[in-house]
Each structure stands twice: as structure tokens, then as C-alpha cells.
Structure 1
Amino acid sequence: MLVSLIIGLVLLLIIILVFIGMSLRQVKEWERAVVLRLGRVLGIKGPGIIFLIPFVDRPVIVDLRIRTVDIPPQTIITRDNVTVSIDAVVYYKVVDAIKAVSMVYNYNQAVINIAQTSLRDIVGQMELDEVLTKRDEINKKLQEILDSYTEGWGVKVTSVTVRDIKISPDLLSAMAKQAEAERQRRARVIVSEGERQASSILAEASKQYKDNPQALQLRFLETLTDISQKGGLIIVVPAGQELYPTISLATSAGEYLRQRINPQS
């Protein structure tokens, strides 16, 4: 009789321990447990140790950390009939665990599907140049569309980033040629503009030299000074009385002095 009582107590203790073990559940700091009691939402519990009624309560663990979803490369035809391949990254987090459990079957897969279709719609309405230069605008539009869907799921999209845009090699080569031609056009425009400005300045300078011949002579002498700095050159300078009277006068004076010093030369 005593042995049977001891065995019964041991079995009862084991049952109680098993019951307690099944009733207690640990929830991490970044998680929440949505408790379903007989199929109905009871509430949110956690973090820490939570108590559940075995076979009656069922917890659904929801991660509240920011999650990253990769959008697979999408082959899209732009508005100007150019085929591009685009992939992106979506960052989101759960802000309402009850909605995330009760309003959508798999919110992670739902976010991926909505992101794919929305990215196709946005890029399909843009031309290639806009797609390549307006990534921020694509990111903003895609985030707004995703938020409009995920708000009712208790999910908040924090950021969307277009990661890579790929186009065909033939189109890349054509774009490179176009860019090179554009650079050459700009270079020619700059050179032409410089020549136009230089001609205007020279025309203005010629008027000033015409009104002031001494300034022209000084400019000529400066030019000779610059040229004379280069060794190994023979400079023949016309010094007629009509063109450069100052130089002509200096040359005549030098010739007169040379004849006085060396009359037999």
C-alpha cells in the first residue's frame, strides 16, 4: 500500500513537472508571442518567461527586428522600349504583431511579391535615362506603394534601395559612344567660345593700339624680349621709320656710333 502511494506521488510529480514545462515558454527581447486560445487571439505576451495553458494556448512568435528582403532581378521594358534588369533591397519591421499574424498569411512573402510587381510598374512608366539617373525617386515611390499595402498588415517599410541596374552590352557601347560624342561637342563649343572671346579682346586692343602707337611699340618690344629668352634663334626685325620710329631711331644712333668708333669698317 505504501509503495503504491509512493509510486502515485512520483507519477503525479512527474505529471506536474511536465505540465509546468509545457506551460512555461521563453520569449526573447526582440520577440513577441501572439497567444491564440482555442483559435482566438488572446493577446501579446513577452519578452521573458510567459505562462501558457497546455493544449489550449498556442503561441505564434513574431520577430520585431528590422528584416531584409532581397528582390530578385526583374527584367523590365521601359517606356522607350529598352530592356533592363533591376534588383533591389527592402527593409521592414513588424510594428503590430497581432495584425501581422491575423491579417496576412506570410507577411515576408507578401512583401516580396508586392515589391516585385510595384517595381515593374514604376520602371515600366519611366524612360531609360530616368531609370539610370533617378534612383532616389524610384526608391521613394516604391516605399510609398509598399507602405500603402503593408500598413494594414502591421508592417512598416523603413527603406527601399535599388541595388543594381543592368542593361545589354550593345546598349552600353552605344551609350559610351553617345557620351564621348557629347564630350567632344562640349569641347568644341568651349574652344569656339574661347576664340570668340579672344577675337573680341584683340579687336578692342587693336583699336587702342591704333589710337596709341607708343603702346604698340612697347608691346612689340615685350614680344621681342619673350622671344629672345629662347636661345639659338636669329631674329630679323623690320625697323623702318614708318613702322617703328623708336626702334629705327635707336638703330640709326647705334650705326652712327659704330662708324665714329671704327670708321674703316
Structure 2
Amino acid sequence: MADYRELRQIRARFPERIAEAAAVRRRRPLFRGRDQLMIIAADHPARGALSVGGRPLAMGSRVELLDRLTVALRRPGVDGLLATPDVVEDLLLLGALDDLLVIGSMNRGGLQGAVFEFDDRFTAYDAAAIAGMRLDGGKMLCRIALDEPGTAATLQSCGRAITELAGDGLVAMVEPFWSGRAGNDLSPDGVIRAISVAQGLGATSARTWLKIPVVADMERVMRATTLPTLLLGGDPGDSPGLAYASWRAALRLPGVRGLVVGRALLYPPDDDVATAVDTAVALLGQD
């Protein structure tokens, strides 16, 4: 495991190098050959969501997370990263983001398990910062809870962010859930309701992408939208084989444009990040 002494030194003494690294990062087109994308997600820690499987603080070590991310992002077929500013900036300083898509995570305010968990206010990137850092888009969580008054502010904030990102020609990746205090409704009907609300947000949907979980009856779920859709990997627990099988089936549906996976690939049960990523990449673009 690296100790990242140079990274720590730069952060303490030369913080301006973050903006300098962003200014010279080599960018790439959204699609490059293949019609489906593999995005590695690492925005969980900013919501205090550090557990993977039976390990409650699996993501608690930043240096270990960076080790795992640098392995994952170097694997053939990986297209990009989804993360909060702190993680993006570490990886920029490490020179790990050239020729990759970078999606900035925007609203991380609803901390997992907090009394204010449904207050999904925008506490990380905003659209102006995403454009200024030359990132490729922004991702927002959009939990819709009919018994939570804060949902109205979340919908308004997401709509504004979608409009602003589209104005800069950037992807707005929306992760909608029909939710309540008991958790997210992962039934097909619940996911369809969430999609229906989320895809109507903003002054235009021209740059809007959806990020949704793989649930039962995905064929019916995908008929709810014409927007480009990425599949949410989630935490597979002790059954990664079942997760891969469900992803494989869903990836064949019209409109599905790839995977956004974090913990399942970064913290597999055997800790073999490279093999986990390669296995997921092999699912893409299958007929």
C-alpha cells in the first residue's frame, strides 16, 4: 500500500496544483468505440456510507481506497470515475484521470442514518465548478419521499442543476429513488415512478442520463424512459455472482448504456479488484 507522501505534501504546500492538473487533464469523447460505458463510483464515503458486505468501515481508509481506485481505473475497458471533489482531486494529483470520463458527485448532504438523511442538499460540486474543472458531467441523488417535506427542495435543486449542466453541454446523471423512512422502494413500480418524476426535471432533458438499480422485471422498467440509462451496481454482499448475472441480463435491454459500480468492484470478497473489474467489463456490449 502506498503512503502517498508526495500527495500529502502537495496538498499542504501547493494546493494550486489541483487546478493546474485539471486544466491539463486529457479528456475523451463520451463514447469511444463501444456503445456501453463502465464507470467506477467512489462517492459513498461523503455520505458516511463506508460499509461493504459485513465490513462496517471497509471504505474508511482513504489511502486504501486510492490504491483500489488506481488499480480499477487502469483496467482495459474502464471509461471513467464518479466521485466527490476530494477523491477527484487526489486522483488528479496522482495523474490517474487522463483519457477518462470524470463525473462530479453533487449532493451528499443526506448522511446515512442521520435524522436529516432526506435532506439531499448540494454540498459537493455545483455545475459551475464541474465546468470550471473541465469535468464531463455531474451526478445527483434524487430521493422522492412523499412523507418528507424536504423532497420539494431536492426536486427543485436537481432541476436547477440539470438545467445548468445542460447549458454547459455536460451530462446530468440523475439517480432517482421512490423512497420513505423504511428505505427505497425497489419494486418495478417504485422504480418506474421515480424515473417518471426524475426525467421531467430541468428546463431540458437533452443531457440527462439516468442511473437506476437493477430490479425485477427490468424490461418493463426500461420501457418507462427513452433517456440513456446506466445501471447502479450497489453492494452485492456475499453474492457477487448473482449481481453479475442480473447485470448481464439488464445490459441487453434497449436504452441501457452501461454500468456505474463502486463497492462491488473496489471491495470484492476476495479483494482482487482487477479480476472483479475485468469480469464486469466483459459483460458490456454483449448481444
* Higher RCO (Cα < 8 Å, 6 or more apart): 2
Tell me the TM-score range normalised by the shorter chain. Answer: under 0.3
Give the TM-score normalised by structure 2: 0.18
